[in-house]
Structure 1
Amino acid sequence: MNKKILFTIIPKGYWIILAVAVSFAAIGGEYLKLANIGINFLIFLIGLKLAILIHELGHLLFARIVGGTPRRMILGKGHKVAETRFKGVKIILNSNFNSGLAYAAFDNLKLIRLRLLSYSSGGFLTNFFVASILFLAFDFSTNASDGIQFSSAIVLANLLTGISVLIPHYSSYQGLRLYSDGLSILRIPFLKKSNLVELSSVNELLDAYDLFESKKYREAIAIYENFQAKTEGSKTANINLSIAYMKLGNYEKAVQLMEELLPLVNEERFAWLKNYIFNGIAWEYLLINKLDEADKYSELAYNANQNTEHIRGTRASVLIEKGKYEEGKNLLINDVDFNFPNSQTLAASIYVGLAFHELNEHKKAEKYVNFVEENLDLLDIDERTLYERSKEKWRYITDAKNEYAN
């Protein structure tokens, strides 16, 4: 297990709790109760992550039972830490392991509403099953100061996880609105026929997304365009098609595809994607230097959702391009993580470096410029476009560095 995975599963704060608890245990006496409370709290926190894993496995297991095909499990949000495949399921661990997602495909639409009910219920049912088995097999106690209560902490973690997802509510992942299990179950009877028909294409769409993540954009485009043709131009794949063309450097086609969605954002089938559409077209307008349009749509996306890194990053980048350096920098600087060089952190570094440069804080700018230039091979075409544009403005930084080296 590498360091990033270890500290994702057991973050630094957990180690501090462990250290404090061990210190109390070493003192002994009355402090032993505090040590037990600390250890049990730590087990509970780790148990919550285990409960998330159990929950997502439950979704995929129940999907398999009713004839679906388990395809993908995402553990957490933030930056990708690790990725693997197990029995055809792509498993992704992200840096902020406090939530999860599971994806399954249903090619056979016979009794599809019952299949979806089983799939949506599988997570919390598995949590409750694990909690019940542990409750019956081991002594249960809520007295955290009375010894180590391993099974009790795991029982509570699974119960809380199962109950929390039953509450109907929305959440967000990368700017997309997601439904809790409870809300998904309530929506199943009201799903339109068009929604159900599109379920039969989930397998190929996930194939396309796998290709997309592997930066095989042309192959992904072929699948998305085939899907559009089969669904008689539903335009539901326009977003991913637009981004794929953008990643190939065809900005004109990318903008055209996204602009086709603008008149549709208030329709039910696209309303949940509205912020994603606004953010996508704002980024593409930024690439072609239509800053007024980029400003308009990035502001719409940001005002609706300020907590998503991609939306916040686009808004900050536009502000910096328009000369609002301090405001843009303050929005963006916390999204740079030098431990994770990827599209998001490198794009953020380009603009944080540019903002510091324009604010005449050249030493601070150099740190971000160096981070980008050390990882140029990781930049996609769109990020490379912004890098080349910004490089002309901060060129003297690299010139000064080269002169010092000589």
Structure 2
Amino acid sequence: MFKILNAIFPIYFWLILLIGIVVLVNNVNVEIAYLLLNLVAFLFSIKVGVVIHEFGHLIFGKLAGGNPKRIVLGKSHEVKRFTVFDIKIILNKDFNGGFAFVEFPPEKNTKINQFLLSSGGCLTNLIVAGLLLLCIDFSFSFLSSDNGFQFTSAFIFANSLIAIISLIPYHVEYQGVKVPTDGLTLLRLPFKKNNASNVDFNAFFEAQEKFEEKEFDAAIQLYKKYINIEETKVLAHYNTGIMYSKKGDIDEGMSWLESCLNLVDKEKDKMMFAHINNGLAWLKLVKGDTGQIDILSKTAYSIKPSFYYFKGTRGAVLIELGKIEAGIKMLTPLVDFKYPNSQTVTDAIFLYYGHTVLNSNKKAQKFFNFVSKNLDRLSADELLVWKRIQNKLKTTEGL
């Protein structure tokens, strides 16, 4: 529960709340106290408003004949996932946005239904704000301290603000991929050709589900349905290769990823090209093959240096190539001991190795303990890296 609260409400939220209460209770400065408490009410309402917005997408998607599948709240490291009424809810750290996914049968995937889905979040925020306005007077004075603590005004304002911002047409980034906002999706909708694509993406989504459940063989069979379809062949080849690597079949995984290099247009789809290079660098790292890992990881990192998967591979490559201080500097910010997952644990493996080589024994032990406690989060390829690093250190000690 603490992890969930900390992910939703970071430390500054609790500090503002504590200061506001202390100032109010001690009657130091009532105006400042109410100003701080109203700020807390607004920050709290923003978080709740995001949840309302994403559930709104699911509700309107359901009304449009779709099948609600999941909500992702926040970015960065996964904190918790659970299922409610067959809907997966994934809570990540940095709870400042989200997205919802609704699966439409081909016959229901119309412009009208897509309009309902894309506008559902905004409409739900406005409906909630409107219902409160019918019962309670709204005042912008909550932004000051003129009328004391005004939670409902803060809540109405927050939901209205989320609705307005969601309609601004631009791209947001999720896991290194640019995703259109609701506003941009709605703006493009009238120009979208009916039946522009006859591809049924339901199996593609199901494959992602199987991947998350570590049912890699099932995921491979689903992805292979898309390898000969023009719109999906690059991603299908790439994902199939990743699934083989997660099973521990590294050579087969590399074969699929190498085939992607002949399929991808590196100028038109730079991010996919980056993912392929990063994946190849990673699989070579798993095998301990240092040939080309520098150029492969550098290529991915140069395209999107802020993307943590590319940073993780690049940092690991630097350590593997002996540039240990540079690698440690890159990897250290990526490891959050509170939220272990396959990525953070894998980064910790190379930090353990790097600090051991530098004889920073206390730091090395810290990362060793973190990895040891979370081995169950690793797939076969990551476990192979762990085994290789341990053997490498034993060999070094034996010299």
TM-score higher than 0.5: yes
TM-score for the superposition, normalised by structure 1: 0.89
- 2:149 aligns with 148
3-state SS of 1:109 partner: helix
CA–CA distance in 2 between the matches of 1:175 and 1:294? 21
Structure 2 residue 242 is matched with structure 1 residue 243? yes
Partner of 1:210: 209
Any residues of structure 2 matched to 1:309-388 within 5 Å, and which?
Answer: 309-388=308-387
SS across alignment from 2:95: strand
Alignment of 1:5-20 (within 5 A): 5-20=4-19
The TM-score normalised by the length of structure 2 is: 0.91
Q: Secondary structure at the match of 1:97?
A: coil
Q: Is the 8 A contact 2:271 2:303 kept in 1?
A: no
Quote the residue 2:176 is aligned against.
175
Amino acid paired to 1:138: I
What is the distance in 1 between the residues matched to 2:194 and 2:279?
28
**Maintained 8 Å contact 2:110/2:194:** no
Partner of 2:201: 201
- Distance of aligned partners of 1:392 and 1:272 in 2 relative to their CA distance in 1, 3 Å threshold: closer
**Deviation digits for residues 187-242 of structure 1 (CA, Å, limit 9, x no counterpart):** 334556786323x322x222222221111111111222234467797343223212
- 1:186 alignment counterpart: 187
Q: CA deviation at 1:125?
A: 2.0
Structure 1 residues 137 and 332: CA distance shift in structure 2, 3 A:
same
- Counterpart code for 2:347: A
- Residue 235 of structure 2 aligns to a residue whose secondary structure is coil
Distance 1:363 1:61 in 2: 51
Instruction: Look up the match of 1:402.
Output: none
Unaligned residue ranges in structure 2 (runs of 5+) = none
- What residue number does 1:306 align with? 305
**Which residue does 1:104 correspond to in 2?**
102
Q: Percent identity?
A: 37
Letter in 2 for 1:174: Q
Distance 1:272 1:308, change over 3 A: closer
Secondary structure in structure 2 of the residue aligned to 1:96: coil
1 CA distance for matches of 2:190 and 2:251?
Answer: 40
- Give the AA of the match of 2:201: S
Deviation readout 1:314-362 (Å, 9 max, x if unpaired): 1111111111111111111011122233211110111111111222322
| Residue 98 to residue 338, structure 1, CA distance change in 2 (3 Å) | same
CA distance in 1, matches of 2:214, 2:40: 39
Contact residue 266 and residue 273 of structure 2 kept, 8 A: no
- Residue 81 of structure 1: how far off its partner (Å): 1.9
Per-residue CA shift, 1:44-79, capped at 9, x if unaligned? 111111111111111111111111111110111122
Cα distance change of structure 1 residues 46 and 135 upon mapping to structure 2, 3 Å threshold: same
Alignment deviations for residues 334-392 of structure 1 (CA, whole Å, 9 cap, x no partner): 11122233211110111111111222322211211222123333321111121122113
Q: Provide closer, same or farther for how the CA distance between residues 136 and 273 of structure 1 changes in structure 2, counting only shifts above 3 A.
A: farther
Distance in 2 between the 1:295 and 1:396 partners? 24
Of the structure 1 ranges 291-300 and 388-397, higher mean CA displacement relative to structure 2 is found in: 388-397
Aligned to 1:223: 222
How big is the alpha-carbon RMSD for the aligned residues of Structure 1 and Structure 2?
A: 2.6
1:229-278: CA deviation from partner (whole Å, max 9, x where unpaired): 67797343223212111101112221222222224433798555343333
1:35 maps to 2:30: no
Structure 1 gap segments, 5+ residues each:
400-406
Residue of structure 2 equivalent to 1:404: none
Partner of 1:33, secondary structure, is: helix
Aligned partners of 1:354 and 1:393 also within 8 Å: no
Q: Deviation of residue 36 (structure 1)?
A: 0.8
Q: Is the 8 A contact 1:59 1:123 kept in 2?
A: yes
